[in-house]
Structure 1
Amino acid sequence: MFGRRGEIERREPVLGTPGFDGDLRLTADDRPTLGSNSMARERSSSGNKARKGAANASSGAAKGATRGSGGGGRRRPRRGLLGRLFYWGAVLGLWGVIALGGLIFYEASQLPPIQNIAIPERPPTVIIQGSDGKAIATRGEMGGANVPLRALPPYLPQAFVAIEDRRFYAHFGLDPLGLARAVVVNLTAGRLREGGSTLTQQLAKNLFLTQERTLSRKVQELILSIWLETKYSKNEILELYMNRVYFGAGAYGVEAAAQRYFGKSARQVTLSEAAMLAGLVKSPSFLAPTRNLDGAQARAEVVLGAMREAGFISAEMQQAALARPATLAKTQVPDSTGYVADWVMEQLKSIIGPIEGDIIVQTTVDPALQAAADKALKDALGKSGKKLGVEQGAIVLMDTDGGVRALVGGRSYEESQFNRAITAKRQPGSSFKPFVYLTAMERGLTPESLREDAPIQIKGWRPENFSKEYRGPVDLKTALALSLNTVAVRLALEVGPEAVIKTAHRLGIASKLEPNASIALGTSEVSLMEMVDAYAPFANGGVGVTPHVIERVRDKTGKVLYAYAQPSRGMVMAPPHVAMMNRMMQDVLLVGTARRADLPGWPAAGKTGTSQDYRDAWFIGYTGRFIAGVWLGNDDASPTKKAGGSGLPVDIWSQVMKAAHKDVPPVTLPGAGTYQPGGLPPGEAPEEPVVTGGPQRPVPAAPRPGLDNWLIDKLFGRS
């Protein structure tokens, strides 16, 4: 429809008209057109092609506009290679940051909550001192005391900063510049020459993490480094680092390292020594000056150069330090003090309980006597050990109150930490006979009592004397001096093996002893420390003692945690019996098997011992001041080449006791007075008898009738 002036009439739907079905949707007739419906259909038919062409043209224009870089239908220029690299680099970088953030978040979740993280307590250090108050050993995981940074010479911490982390005071725990420099240096050198870790990162690794090289550990290290930097000052971090880092040779912390290598406190090190210490942390096991002094000195030169570049020292100071490089201090104490230190640590737990802080243990050990004992054993084995087939030995030197003044548990602690003076148990041979003779004295016999030296047989066992000769009736002092086996066995049977064992236990033997006839010849195994302990009552007048090495224990503030009260086990031997035994055992050194003993001006006594097949060689000897015991043998109990107690053990004993009695006024043996017993003519001292077993060669004479044979018949029967 057309309205006025050619306008198309607008139709509106009318509600409520007849025929309206309520559908308000437009029909084709309701849509407006330029003319009538018939005209529109005609035009539609004739304009289809025109519309299709227009549509195609419009579609092409739209595609062209999409490819163009600007409006108005212009085409966009193609992005260059640099642009694409920048684009994809930005994309990858963004994803990398996201991935790194996720990794950091994950690794942080594997750590304890930040509020729960704390610096682990430094493990306690045990400083072990000699009787003179000087340190002879340290024990503990760290092996040295904590030293405040302010107590150190300034060039010592500066050396660590110069060589390990020159930007330490500028970074926040991670040093990007230092890391980049390390990468460049390593790439240029074609090998790993520098590390990118800061001192803070190294401390975080040492305090909290393992030494494994993984990405996970490195990320955790970074997290903990930042935490350390936010919680502690730079100086506190540096102090922690220097007191925890490993310096090689078992030394943790700068104090332990200074003591280990230079024999002094870290407070007293020189510039050249400070440079060497700082240089060790790069490769402590390889550069430890105890095994690679040249390498440690070369590394110290590098440290001095770094200190000069950093402005910490002048050129004059550098040249002076280079002119006098650090060297190892001469060891003031022998390595055998390790046996002492181990024994101390074994006893501490029972004395003071768990060790919760640094402690100082003062011992009874005299460093000079320890060195003398160590030298005596090493010299003897070095000179005669191979010839005699002897590989090992042990020495115990004790005062008459039970204080251990020297203890050597083997020829080399570095090679073997097994303590042959305390732990090893071996057959003492004839050095056990004094307990048999003392038991006989306590049953009413005297040194002048006579017993038969003649062949004896007990159920097929025929103990015989070393010389294979027999003297017939002989007094007990001569029998002990000459170590006659037949007399010792007869005495043991006379008093009873059980009584002998009770005597030995009363004097200080703790090991289990077998109650048989061969007990008289020392066939039950004991330790060297037990034997020295059991001989102490002969030296001090009959008082039982307890061997001890710990005199006093203090904490780091000086508070006394323990002091030895010198408890006595009371009298274990009557004075008359002490006098008798000392008179007899003095003859062992004057006319008997230990005539090689050399201790001018001092009355001394003792007893030698050799076990079956020369497996063990002993000498336990004493004066009114000291008791010393020496054992020689092989760890596998193999026979030696006839090394007996009257030979090398007596020589070693003489050397140790000379050192112990130097400048000490002589005293007599308890009860012995000035008694000078007679004995064999000079030159007739026999070799030490050997405990033997099994079939023996025919004996020259049968035992004479008497009490001896009656006891044998009664106790053991005839074989």
Structure 2
Amino acid sequence: MNSTSAASPPLFGRLVRALLLLGIWGGLALGLVLLWFAWDLPRPEQVLAATRRPSVMLEARDGRLLAASGDLYGEAARLAELPAFVPAALMAVEDRRFRSHAGLDPVGLARAAVANLRAGRVVQGGSTLTQQLAKNLFLTPERSLRRKVQEAMLALWLERRFTKDQLLEIYLNRVYLGSGAYGVDAAARLYFGVSARRVTLWQAAILAGLPKAPSRLNPRNNPDAAIRRGAEVLAAMREENLITVRQETLEAERMVLPLRPSGDAGWFSDWVQADLAEDYPGAGDLVLRTTLDLRLQAVVERRLETLLDGAGRAAGVGQGAVVVLDARDGAVRAMAGGRSYRGSPFNRATAARRQPGSAFKPFVWLAAMERGLGPENSVSDAPLSLGGWSPGNGSWRSRGMITLKDALAHSVNTAAVRLLLQGGGAREVAAVARRLGVAGRLPEHPSLALGTAEVTLLDLTAAYAAFANGGFRVTPYGVQRAEAAERLLAVPRTAPQPALRPALAAAMRRMLGAVVREGTGRAAALPGRAVAGKTGTTQDFRDAWFVGIAGSRMGPLVIGVWLGNDDGSPMNEVSGGSLPARLFHDVLQETPP
């Protein structure tokens, strides 16, 4: 017995020493493992220092968000400034135990594991809001053990460094919520057109549902999925007794996302942003208030699509473009550069150069009138031949001598060529067109009278503005105010310039009115509205144009329409006085007088 007692102390001592060594080496190994996980961790002290691409926010004329590029941030919102249901909705659906855990939630992890096992797939995540914040601020989306351990370490640091309210505030201001929007204020403005401080309960529910899959669930990409997810958030809030059953039902019924007022204003957005680097060098984040009228833009897109899908399809019309601008100063109110921006972002309103046909004739008439002729002076419509070239008059039957007004109203080609010669020839007519803003190749040949130049729809439409505004040349523009870092920037813009005498502008407007009342543009007429304009049709019906002028509640407008095919193939007898004039009429009909 004595020998057994004597042996016990050495055995116990060896066990204690072994345990101590194991603890030391285990601790050392754990430290090395943690060091391995932590060696490339970012410095968490930089949590509030955002590194992102400069953003450009385009606002429509009324201040609603039109488009955004870069990383879009709204105003920094203090937690106390937000409706209480904004953070409540987020915690209800993302982290119900946020107020009680220390950054990691074993209970939440266990609950998510059980739910996932029962479903046979991943239906719940166990990450806390703090872990999500750590991942979003510091880490990549990589799915690995290393990244998850680093996420946990950073979450613990964040919980020690900040209060719960501060963490919520940082999260709400930094979380990515789809379509380039970071933070609830940017997302609220993007999706609902309001500040995060003014969102309703159902809007807050939709926003709170986005962190799960912001690209897939956001209202712009998938409105139906956004609403379904918002309903799930409302249900989670009701389960947490944050709202009543009645509130859940009422808010779910109110959860209707309005259609985006403009689906394809991408052409306008691209045009506006084409020269940003030159116009605003080194400005950083930009907020640009544009001239675009969202209601009118929606009308233009809808009417163009309806025509192309209906009568246009039957007539072999593959594409079209429409520009609406304010005749007073050239502000572009609407722009459609084709059938669908998503299908083809090529802008047929600004980049495509096509022959305008008889839509070019007003410049011929103007050149002749600047040489002393007037609307009631006469010109011969008889056949003529110039160096072997003989312009035709189509179905027009010669009357001998007709007034300039009638010759323009009925678009008589032989009269146009004679007026070009009386106005100083092709070179003088080209100079008149350039003076009003028409750029491009203007051939110095008598055929210029029939529109053999190559122009863009935007240039041609802007040139007609001088007939409506008393004789001033306007330069089309799309930005009316620019702001960076809460300071206003100078907006490069060319002021309207005198280009012709007011009396000549008025005379041209009266003759263009006759085109619509009694000539080739009668399909553009709208009862009760003073409308003026000119049709244009090129050889073999490859291009059809109508450029018209009319008054409206927003000021005198010039509306330019082009229809045709990208490959230049002929349409089925589509003239400027048919479908283009009808499209002008349809757009103007939805524009308040």
From 284, 292, 296, the counterpart of 1:356: 284
* CA apart distance, 1:288: 3.7
The verdict on how the C-alpha distance between 1:497 and 1:222 changes in structure 2, with shifts beyond 3 A counting, is farther
From 462, 473, 484, the counterpart of 1:533: 462
2:371 is the alignment partner of 1:440: no
Residue in 2 that maps onto 1:553:
482
Distance 2:420 2:147 in 1: 71
* CA apart distance, 1:647: 0.9
SS at match of 1:378: helix
From 451, 456, 463, the counterpart of 2:385: 456
C-alpha deviations, 1:328-362, integer Å up to 9, x for none?
Answer: 33236232444444433335544443443463x33
SS at match of 2:310: helix
SS at match of 1:439: helix
Contact 1:551 1:564 survives alignment (8 Å): no
Residue in 1 that maps onto 2:249:
322
Distance 1:194 1:99 in 2: 33
- Segments of structure 1 that go 5 or more residues without pairing to the other structure are 1-67, 77-82, 663-719
From 505, 522, 525, the counterpart of 2:434: 505
Between 1:519-528 and 1:445-454, the stretch displaced more is 445-454
* CA apart distance, 1:657: 3.1
From 567, 582, 592, the counterpart of 2:495: 567
C-alpha deviations, 1:410-458, integer Å up to 9, x for none?
Answer: 3444544433323333221211122222223334444424245315365
Give, as a single letter, the amino acid of the residue that structure 1 aligns with 2:207: L
Q: Where does 1:517-532 land on structure 2 (aligned, <5 Å)?
A: 517-532=446-461
2:429 is the alignment partner of 1:482: no
2:314 is the alignment partner of 1:387: yes
Contact 2:55 2:284 survives alignment (8 Å): no
Larger-gyration structure (1/2): 1
Residue in 2 that maps onto 1:466:
394
From 342, 345, 365, the counterpart of 2:273: 345
Q: Where does 1:31-110 land on structure 2 (aligned, <5 Å)?
A: 101-110=31-40
Residue in 2 that maps onto 1:369:
296
2:144 is the alignment partner of 1:214: yes
SS at match of 1:187: helix
SS at match of 1:110: coil
From 510, 531, 535, the counterpart of 1:604: 531
* CA apart distance, 1:470: 4.8
The verdict on how the C-alpha distance between 1:563 and 1:582 changes in structure 2, with shifts beyond 3 A counting, is same
From 515, 518, 538, the counterpart of 1:591: 518
Contact 1:455 1:470 survives alignment (8 Å): no
Cα RMSD between the aligned structures?
3.7
* CA apart distance, 1:166: 2.5
Residue in 1 that maps onto 2:108:
178
From 318, 323, 328, the counterpart of 1:396: 323
2:87 is the alignment partner of 1:157: yes
- Segments of structure 2 that go 5 or more residues without pairing to the other structure are none
Residue in 2 that maps onto 1:233:
163
From 170, 173, 179, the counterpart of 1:243: 173
Compute the TM-score of the two structures, normalised by the length of structure 1: 0.70
The verdict on how the C-alpha distance between 1:406 and 1:353 changes in structure 2, with shifts beyond 3 A counting, is same
Give, as a single letter, the amino acid of the residue that structure 2 aligns with 1:610: T
Contact 1:289 1:328 survives alignment (8 Å): no
C-alpha deviations, 1:190-219, integer Å up to 9, x for none?
Answer: 321222322222223323333232344334
* CA apart distance, 1:122: 6.1
* CA apart distance, 1:169: 3.1
Contact 1:431 1:619 survives alignment (8 Å): yes
Residue in 1 that maps onto 2:117:
187
Distance 2:222 2:79 in 1: 28
Distance 2:26 2:209 in 1: 37
The verdict on how the C-alpha distance between 1:218 and 1:595 changes in structure 2, with shifts beyond 3 A counting, is same
* CA apart distance, 1:535: 0.9
* CA apart distance, 1:509: 1.3
Distance 2:195 2:504 in 1: 53
Contact 2:98 2:128 survives alignment (8 Å): yes
Give, as a single letter, the amino acid of the residue that structure 2 aligns with 1:501: A
SS at match of 1:281: helix
Distance 1:210 1:124 in 2: 20
Give, as a single letter, the amino acid of the residue that structure 2 aligns with 1:506: R
Residue in 2 that maps onto 1:255:
185
* CA apart distance, 1:593: 0.8
* CA apart distance, 1:286: 3.8
Contact 1:497 1:517 survives alignment (8 Å): yes
* CA apart distance, 1:318: 3.7
Distance 1:255 1:347 in 2: 28
Distance 2:404 2:285 in 1: 57
Between 1:483-492 and 1:284-293, the stretch displaced more is 284-293
Contact 1:261 1:328 survives alignment (8 Å): no
Distance 2:445 2:82 in 1: 66
Distance 1:204 1:655 in 2: 54
* CA apart distance, 1:622: 1.5
Give, as a single letter, the amino acid of the residue that structure 1 aligns with 2:495: P
Distance 1:141 1:273 in 2: 24
Distance 1:305 1:107 in 2: 39
The verdict on how the C-alpha distance between 1:596 and 1:101 changes in structure 2, with shifts beyond 3 A counting, is same
Residue in 2 that maps onto 1:430:
358
SS at match of 1:596: helix
Distance 1:110 1:596 in 2: 71
SS at match of 1:453: coil
2:577 is the alignment partner of 1:646: yes
Distance 1:113 1:661 in 2: 58
Identity across aligned pairs (percent)? Answer: 45
Contact 1:616 1:633 survives alignment (8 Å): yes
SS at match of 1:620: strand
SS at match of 1:622: strand
Contact 1:243 1:255 survives alignment (8 Å): yes
Distance 1:409 1:95 in 2: 71
Contact 2:284 2:484 survives alignment (8 Å): no
Contact 1:424 1:527 survives alignment (8 Å): yes
SS at match of 1:430: helix
Contact 2:392 2:414 survives alignment (8 Å): yes
Give, as a single letter, the amino acid of the residue that structure 2 aligns with 1:407: M
Distance 1:648 1:431 in 2: 15
Distance 1:241 1:115 in 2: 16
Contact 2:549 2:558 survives alignment (8 Å): yes
Give, as a single letter, the amino acid of the residue that structure 1 aligns with 2:335: L
The verdict on how the C-alpha distance between 1:503 and 1:300 changes in structure 2, with shifts beyond 3 A counting, is closer
Distance 2:452 2:26 in 1: 78
Give, as a single letter, the amino acid of the residue that structure 1 aligns with 2:416: A
From 532, 537, 540, the counterpart of 1:613: 540
SS at match of 2:274: helix
2:132 is the alignment partner of 1:202: yes
The verdict on how the C-alpha distance between 1:254 and 1:418 changes in structure 2, with shifts beyond 3 A counting, is farther
* CA apart distance, 1:594: 0.5
* CA apart distance, 1:508: 0.7
* CA apart distance, 1:530: 0.5
* CA apart distance, 1:171: 3.7
2:504 is the alignment partner of 1:577: yes
* CA apart distance, 1:270: 3.3
The verdict on how the C-alpha distance between 1:518 and 1:353 changes in structure 2, with shifts beyond 3 A counting, is same
Distance 1:498 1:118 in 2: 64
Residue in 1 that maps onto 2:211:
281
